[in-house]
Amino acid sequence: MYVAVSTDCIPDQIMPDVVSSLIDLEFTTVEIVLREDGTVLSPSRIDENFQDAFQLAVRSHRLDVCSYDVRIEAQGEEYFEQFDAICRLGKATKVVTLIVPSAELGTPFNEEVERLQRLVDCAEAEGVRVAMKSQIGRLSEDPDTVKVLCDNVKGLGLTLDPSHYYCGPHSNKKLDKIMEYVFHCHLRDSKKDQLQVRVGQGEIDYAKIVSQLGAVGYNHALSVHVSPDPSFEQRGELRKLRLLLETLL
C-alpha cells in the first residue's frame, strides 16, 4: 500500500499547478479528478481534444498517477461515449483505475447492474478497471448492496470510503464482506454526525482499515480525500493525514 492524494483536495488550482502544490506537500502519487471545468481534461472535451488531454495528463507525471476520478455530467449514450474516451485516456497514460459513482437510491437494481456491466466491459476493452465509490445517497451506501453489485457485475470493484459508511444509515454493518472488492481507497477523518472533521478530531480507525485491506492482499493507494474547509488550513491537514497514514505502512 502507498499514500496518494486527490486533486480535489486543492480544487482552486488547475493542472499542472495543483501538481506542484502536492509535490511541495511531499506527496508522490496523485489521483486526478476529471470534471467539467473547461479544460481539456473535462469529460466532454477529452475525445475531440484527445492529444491535448493526453499531454496535460502526462505533465502530471512529476507524480505517479494512481487513478482518474470520473465526474461525467452527460446522460444517455453521451455518458458512455465520454466514458469510452476516458478509458482510452487511461490506457494511453497507463492509469488503470477509473472511479465512478453508483446510481442514486431508488434506481432499479437490474438497471444499475446493466449500466455498471457496460462500463466494466468498456474499461476492460482498454485494459483499465472500474471502481464505484462508497457514497451516501447512492446504492453504494449499503455494504450489502455493494457486495451484491460486485457479485453480479463481473470485474467491478469498489473505491472504499469508510466515512460514508461510518456516517451513513448502515453504520452498524461490518465492512469485512466488501474488502475483497476494493480497488482504491479514499480517506479523511469523520465523526458519526459529521462526514469530515480535522484530522485527529474524528473517529476513523485508520489502523483497522489498513489491517483489513492488508488481510485481503490490497496493495494499492490510500488516497487522501480532504475537502477544503474555511475553518482549517488545508495544506496542513493534507500533510498531517499523509504523515499519519505513512506511519501505518
Contact predicate 206/188, CB 8 Å: no
C-alpha cell at 160: 472504499
- Position 14 scores a pLDDT of 83
Q: For the chain, what's the residue count? A: 249
- Position 61 scores a pLDDT of 67
Contact predicate 237/225, CB 8 Å: no
The per-residue DSSP string of the chain comes to -EEEEEGGGSTTS-TTHHHHHHHHTT--EEEEEE-SSSSTTSTTTTTTTHHHHHHHHHHGGGSEEEEEEE-----HHHHHHHHHHHHHHHHHHT--EEEEE-PBTTS-HHHHHHHHHHHHHHHHHTT-EEEEEP-TTBGGGSHHHHHHHHHHSTT-EEEE-HHHHHSSTTTTS-SGGGGGGEEEEEE-EEETTEEEE-TTSS---HHHHHHHHHHTT--SEEEE-PPP-TTS-HHHHHHHHHHHHHHH-
Vertex 128: Cα angle to 181 and 97 (nearest 5): 55
Contact predicate 159/186, CB 8 Å: yes
C-alpha cell at 212: 483489513
What domains sit in the chain, N to C, each tagged with a CATH number? 2-248 (3.20.20.150)
- Show Cβ contacts of residue 125 under 8 Å, excluding neighbours closer than 6 positions: 87
- Position 38 scores a pLDDT of 83
- Position 114 scores a pLDDT of 97
- Position 16 scores a pLDDT of 80
- Position 62 scores a pLDDT of 81
pTM: 0.94
Beta bridge partners of 160: 185
Which residues in the chain land under pLDDT 50? Answer: none
